[in-house]
Amino acid sequence: MVVLDLKSQRILVTGSAGFIGSHVLAELVQLGYRCLGIDNYNDYYSPNLKEERIEKLSLNDILQSVDLSDYDQTLKVFEVFAPEIVIHLAAQPGVRYSRINPDSYLRNNVISFENVLAASKAMSVSRVIYASSSSVYGPTDKTTFVEANRGGAVKNLYALTKRFNEDRISLEEDIESVGLRFFSVYGPWGRPDMAYFRMIGSALGLWRFDRLGSGEQLRDYTYISDVVDLVVSVVSLTQVPRVLNVGGGQPFSLNQMQILVEEFFGRPSTINSLNRDESEAMETRADTKLIESLGLPVPKVDFATGIVQVCNWAKSIPAETYSQWILSSK
């Protein structure tokens, strides 16, 4: 891997009150980069709890509230801070919520993306690193998800907006960019709508876990520290690919998750079986060959190890705080 010394340059991180964004921003600051974080603090889950997370990461002094769907606000930030690298992680996540509130996805994943792209062009940003998703992979008969093949048509609006981002930025030949296809990022203080948090809550006796389908669905869970290592490494690459998987290629099922969580807490979960959501993939499994060929750090924390870290965190905080965190999501 050939790297550049970029620590004299300015890096703007959007979505930096979010799970991935806050940890990426904290690591860049720790490494000595000059950074600014921005976020719109939307209410997909509790803004107060987002503030608690960024306070724990000591990010308050370098994080501003900005609505990227407002181009004037966006451009002003770019003009004042003059970033040379943009890490655009702000987005509206969630497959199922995209059916409930499609406007949020168009505003935050399409209009905001376009505004960041326009401001980057106006200020001659040298590199844009942005959040794509494993959801861009449509139906495929492949056992792994390879960057060069996105498969068939996707079945939900969230995935469609992420495909749009990849296709839209590919038209801009003057901007060096890479889309990071994140695979089920998890960890303490993670996005509270994720299944592993509700599974843990069930084992804690807080609620019944609504399992969609048989529990055999496979997800390539990627621990937050591995994600941060890979994103930071991409910052300093001399050349970047158009898209890159961010996953380790070792999926776990909901049923395997249940066994691990129940073993940790020494008590059974309470499961409520529902029909599977047909708009979601049955399996995700990142191909890691491109990561390896670039000399980037391949995600290495296996789920059995990572979920223990999450369980320890859940056990260490008051049950009321845990419930507020999880139940605050849409």
Q: So which residues are the catalytic ones?
A: 158
DSSP secondary structure string for all residues of 108-141: IIIIHHHHHHHHHHHTT-SEEEEEEEGGG--S-S
What count of other Cβ atoms lies within 10 Å of the Cβ of residue 43?
Answer: 12
Q: For residues 170 and 117, is the Cβ–Cβ distance under 8 A?
A: no
Q: Distance (Å, rounded) from C-alpha 204 to C-alpha 62? A: 36
Q: Distance (Å, rounded) from C-alpha 302 to C-alpha 279? A: 27
Nearest to 183 by CA among 253, 130, 134: 134
Q: Which residues contact 279 (CB under 8 A, 6 or more apart)?
A: 95, 96, 99, 155, 156
Nearest to 179 by CA among 229, 124, 223, 234: 234
Q: For residues 309 and 187, is the Cβ–Cβ distance under 8 A?
A: yes
End-to-end alpha carbon distance in the chain? 41
Q: Distance (Å, rounded) from C-alpha 89 to C-alpha 40? A: 12
Helix (H, G, I), strand (E, B) or coil at 241: coil
Diameter of the chain by CA atoms? 57
Q: For residues 81 and 62, is the Cβ–Cβ distance under 8 A?
A: no
Partners of 320 in the β-ladder: none
Q: Distance (Å, rounded) from C-alpha 147 to C-alpha 149? A: 6
Q: Which residues contact 204 (CB under 8 A, 6 or more apart)?
A: 265, 314, 319, 322
